[in-house]
DNA sequence: CTGAAAGCGCTTACAG
DNA sequence: CTGAAAGCGCTTACAG
């Protein structure tokens, strides 16, 4: 087997024309059973496998989906990638993966590289809000989780989900809350913050006022740790009783800062995340967070891509609140003697 | 631009033959400067980009590397994937990614799928020791981290690295150690265990004897937590003073078990991992572990793949010990009053 | 140094 | 229902 057999070899072996072989391969056109048999026999006798490249050239259709993520090392993106791969596989497609390392140029060049390979479609988890990419519809493009250019976005309903956290914390009695926001140049960062803030504002109007501090950071561990450290190195009375973070990684960083500062979570401080990465359930205490429906998101993105014609509208999928050990009732500092 | 321009369009625009265009594209053959200019001008005027598929069909060479990992959601594999992607990019190649979900059949079918796409080469992080794949050299295949079939393996020198941990723990005075091994059907699992055990045995002969318990598990969090829980729910005197795990994830699971059982790490128990995933530096306490040189591993794997002829021998790369807070001196239980 | 032509392995109208 | 033939967009001997 020094050379792979081609459709021509199969045709000769079976004593038919290549067209006929092609037809039984596609299964579309009707072929007389006798010939069909012969062809099938030839195929397995020779161990023939169609040349995907040739097929792609001829039909200018491939079965690969390109995915670009900011950083595959980020657990949430890894989860997303895994889900996209699975969804693609279910639809008989393969995955090409590229990391943009949060670099806009890399992101663009990866998209172009995918275009050059005439992939079936491209899903991009943008590194930051992309601006005017001069890309018209040769190949469908869908934004996942974070908007890329002006392409349709499939994402968690960040605002709705963030409001869930606000409800939770308010319900627990917290009236001094810090929110660690994500980068304001990401739609997810903005929407989560806005959802959270506007819910808290609403409480201010209809219930008890809440003192809300907002700090900005990146979505990673280090940012969360750093911001939380600043927030928490104040005397107890001036400290927030709850920190809501825009990502699990930030929240886990915050947890670490709290531990370093010997602040008991959840007794003295509640901490919440966003994403429900698998780690969230493993840290101590386990993290209260928002579950992003990675699987559903991925599946929808792939569907939109593959639809004929490709989906064109945004889709928002609700997140759900996962209550675990890192959040608890506010330690009512007004009662004397209960203070730290 | 409803249709992508082809090499033919460029040729017409520049007033030359397609052969000439192809030659300036490849940069190999000599082309008279005047024509070269014209062609370049035409290319940018039309926004021409070569059709990768056609080129692949013609040359039967592509610039994509296939990577199959057991689970992209596992932080170490994610790191490996990121490194492979980077290394591939540096060599002008793209990455196709597939997850085997630790399923041998899926693994095989992904390899075949890559073969069908006539990728330039395939790197596989095996889910378990693959056996006789009937794959001869159409396309180079390299095993990374865990051996696939009988293909050349690039991996950390697991035995050497595990011995480093043994040295560390022994040096700290631990004489009752538990080792949480990885699955014995993985080469990495076996070699790490063997490296660890034989080093401890050596101590037994040349120094003080060490009581060594060995438990088996998968490489994941849950396994580590479960095994450690069993190990640690014994009275303090019968407990190991150190747990060496075959992966960071196991170790982090063990950390969690220790915390649940209120066993102070590192005061009463030392815990070590293997991999140095980014999380290792974020758990509390930070995890002492072995750094696997993911970047070097990936780069070597890609190099072997791309060499002409492809590399054929195994390569072992030394790991390094990273000492952090989860390991410390043994709490000499022999001194009365110091006991728990 | 350059053009005309063959061919990579398929699919798909076009006749019959 | 089936075969002969064109053509997808390239690269590369082959002449000149």
Distance in Å, residue A76 CA to nucleotide C14 C1': 53
Check A78 against B82: CB less than 8 A apart.
Answer: no
What's the burial of A268, exposed, middle or buried (CB within 10 Å: 0-12/13-18/19+)?
A: buried
pLDDT in tens, B26-39: 887 777 888 888 88
Output helix, strand, coil percentages for chain B, rounded to the nearest 5. Answer: 45, 15, 40
**Higher per-residue pLDDT: A224 or A339:** A224
Maximum separation of any 2 CA atoms in chain B, in Å: 95
Q: What is the mean pLDDT of residues A25-48?
A: 86
Cα torsion A101, A105, A109, A111 to 10°: value is 70
pLDDT, tens digit, 9 for 90 and up, residues B98-120: 999 888 888 988 998 888 888 99
Q: Which residue has the higher pLDDT, B312 or A177?
A: A177
In percent, the amount of chain B with pLDDT more than 90 equals 60
Strand D, nucleotides covered by protein (CB < 7 Å): 1-5, 7-13
Task: Give the DSSP H or E segment for A316.
Answer: strand A315-317
Q: Is pLDDT of A334 > 50?
A: no
Sheet strands (E) in chain A: 64-69, 94-99, 121-124, 141-144, 153-156, 176-181, 211-216, 242-245, 270-272, 289-291, 315-317, 320-322
pLDDT of B334 reads: 45
Q: Is the pLDDT of residue A177 over 90?
A: yes
B278 shares contact with chain A (CB less than 8 Å): yes
Percent of chain A with pLDDT over 70: 94
Cis peptide before A80 (omega within 30 of 0): no
Residues at the strand C interface (CB under 7 A)?
A: A 3-4, 6-8, 18-19, 21-23, 25-26, 28, 48, 50-51, 54-55, 57-59; B 16-20, 23, 29-32, 34-35, 54, 57-58, 60
Contact (CB, 8 A) for B25 and B50: yes
Q: Say which residue the tokens 């303090």 belong to.
A: B236
Q: Which residues in chain B have their CB less than 8 angstroms from residue A60's CB?
A: 53
Mean per-residue pLDDT, A313-320: 93
Closest residue (Cα, C1') to D7 = A58
Q: Is B49 on the interface with A (CB under 8 A)?
A: yes
**Chain B residues closer than 8 Å to A259 by CB:** 284
Chain A contact set for B118 (CB, 8 A): 51-53
DSSP output for B289-302: EEE--HHHHHHHHH
- Mutation for testing the A interface, residue in B2, B57, B253, B324 having most A CBs under 10 Å: B57
| Domain map (residue ranges) of chain A | 7-50, 64-156+294-318, 158-292
Cα(B291)–Cα(B318) distance, integer angstroms = 9
Of B108, B147, B101, B156, nearest to B128 (Cα)?
B147
Locate B169 and state its tokens.
């723990």
Cα torsion A99, A102, A105, A108: sign: positive
Per-residue pLDDT tens over the stretch B138-189? 789 999 988 888 899 999 999 999 999 999 999 999 999 999 999 998 888 9
Contact B275, B289 (CB under 8 A): yes
The alpha-carbon gap from A277 to the nearest alpha carbon of chain B, in Å, equals: 10
Residues 6+ apart with CB under 8 A from A134: none
Residue B193 in contact with residue B200, Cβ under 8 Å? Answer: no
Task: Choose which CATH entry (3.90.1150.10, 3.40.50.2300, 3.90.1330.10, 3.90.79.10) describes domain A64-156+294-318.
Answer: 3.40.50.2300
Longest dimension (CA), chain A: 96
Is residue A112 very low, low, confident or very high in pLDDT (cuts 50, 70, 90)?
Answer: confident
How distant, in Å, are the alpha carbons of B67, B87, B159, B160, B246 from that of B298?
A: 11, 7, 19, 19, 21
CA–C1' distance A35–C4 (Å)? 40
Report the pLDDT averaged over residues A230-251: 94
CA-to-CA separations, B242 to B132, B227, B289, in angstroms, rounded: 39, 13, 13
pLDDT at residue B310 in the model: 78
Interface contact A284-B256, CB threshold 8 A: yes
Question: Nearest Cα to B193, choosing from B219, B214, B173, B172?
Answer: B214
What pLDDT does A218 receive? Answer: 92
pLDDT greater than 50 at residue A24: yes
3-class SS at A266?
coil
Q: Which residue is nearest to nucleotide C5 (CA to C1')?
A: B19
Q: How confident is the model at residue A189, as a pLDDT? A: 92
Protein residue ranges contacting nucleic strand D, Cβ under 7 Å:
A 16-20, 23, 29-32, 34-35, 54, 57-58, 60; B 3-4, 6-8, 18-19, 22-23, 25-26, 28, 48, 50-51, 54-55, 57-59
Give kind and range of the element (H or E) at residue B283.
none
State whether B259 and A86 contact (CB < 8 Å).
Answer: no
Residue found by looking up tokens 């794997």 in the block: B301
B82 in helix, strand or coil?
helix
- The superfamily CATH assigns to domain A7-50 is lambda repressor-like DNA-binding domains (1.10.260.40)
Å between A82 CA and nearest CA of chain B: 6
| Selected residue of A25, A50, A78 to mutate for chain B interface (largest B Cβ count, 10 A) | A78
Give buried/exposed letters for B30-69 (b at 16+ CB in 10 A, else e). ebeeebbebbeebbeebebebbbbbbbbeeeebbbbbbbb
- The per-residue pLDDT of chain A, averaged, comes to 89
Helix (H) or strand (E) holding B5: none
pLDDT tier, B236 (very low <50, low <70, confident <90, very high otherwise):
confident
Residues B84 and B79: their CA atoms lie apart, in Å, by 9
The pLDDT score that the predictor gives to residue B102 is: 83
Q: Omega into A9 within 30° of 0, i.e. cis?
A: no
Q: Establish whether domains B7-50 and B158-292 are of one fold.
A: no
Query: What does CATH list as the number for B64-156+294-316?
Result: 3.40.50.2300
Collapsing DSSP to helix, strand or coil, B68 comes out as strand
Structure confidence at residue B29 (pLDDT)? 73
**CB proximity under 8 Å: A 282-321 to B:** 282-284
Q: Is A292 exposed, middle or buried (0-12, 13-18, 19+ CB in 10 A)?
A: buried
Q: B279: which chain A residues are within 8 Å (Cβ-Cβ)?
A: 279
Q: Is B194 helix (H, G, I), strand (E, B) or coil?
A: helix
| Spatial distance from the CA of A19 to the C1' of D13 (Å) | 29
- Chain A contact for B61 (CB, 8 A cutoff): no
B82 to A95: CB separation less than 8 angstroms, yes or no: no
* Mean pLDDT, residues A331-336: 52
Query: How far is Cα A258 from Cα A42, in angstroms, rounded to an integer?
Result: 69
* DSSP label of B275: B
Q: What is the pLDDT of residue A133?
A: 61
What pLDDT, on the 0 to 100 scale, is given for residue B332? 63
Q: How many angstroms separate the CA atoms of B121 and B147, rounded?
A: 16
Lowest mean pLDDT among A166-170, A296-300, B45-49, B156-160: B45-49
Residue A131's pLDDT band (cuts 50, 70, 90) = low
Superfamily of domain covering A158-292: Response regulator (3.40.50.2300)
Reading the block at residue A6, the tokens are 């081609």
Tokens of B273: 């991992």
Chain A from 121 to 150: CB within 8 A of any B CB: 136, 138
pLDDT over 70 (residue A340) = no
Nearest alpha-carbon partner for A213 in A186, A237, A242: A242
């Amino acid at each position: 087997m020094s050379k792979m057999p081609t459709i021509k070899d199969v045709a000769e072996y079976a004593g038919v024309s290549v067209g006929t072989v092609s037809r039984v391969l596609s299964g579309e056109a009707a072929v007389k059973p006798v010939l069909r048999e012969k062809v099938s026999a030839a195929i397995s006798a020779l161990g023939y496998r169609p040349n995907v490249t040739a097929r792609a050239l001829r039909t200018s259709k491939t079965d690969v989906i390109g995915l670009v993520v900011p950083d595959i090392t980020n657990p949430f993106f890894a989860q997303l990638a895994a889900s996209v791969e699975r969804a693609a596989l279910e639809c008989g497609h393969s995955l090409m993966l590229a990391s943009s390392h949060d670099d806009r140029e890399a992101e663009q060049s990866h998209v172009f590289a995918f275009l050059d390979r005439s992939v079936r479609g491209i899903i991009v988890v943008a590194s930051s809000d992309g601006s005017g990419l001069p890309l018209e519809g040769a190949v469908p493009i869908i934004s996942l989780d974070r908007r890329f250019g002006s392409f349709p976005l499939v994402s968690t309903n960040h605002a709705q989900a963030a409001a869930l956290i606000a409800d939770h914390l308010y319900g627990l009695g917290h009236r001094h809350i810090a929110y660690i926001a994500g980068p304001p140049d990401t739609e997810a960062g903005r929407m989560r913050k806005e959802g959270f803030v506007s819910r808290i504002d609403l409480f201010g109007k209809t219930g008890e006022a809440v003192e809300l501090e907002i700090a900005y950071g990146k979505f990673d561990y280090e940012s969360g740790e750093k911001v939380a450290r600043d927030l928490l190195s104040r005397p107890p009375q001036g400290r927030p009783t709850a920190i809501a973070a825009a990502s699990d990684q930030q929240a886990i960083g915050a947890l670490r800062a709290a531990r370093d500062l010997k602040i008991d979570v959840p007794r003295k401080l509640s901490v919440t995340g966003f994403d429900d990465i698998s780690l969230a359930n493993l840290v101590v205490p386990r993290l209260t967070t928002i579950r992003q429906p990675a699987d559903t998101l991925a599946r929808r993105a792939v569907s939109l891509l593959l639809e004929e014609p490709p989906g064109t509208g945004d889709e928002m999928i609700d997140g759900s609140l996962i209550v675990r050990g890192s959040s608890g009732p506010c330690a009512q500092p007004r009662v004397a003697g209960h203070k730290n």
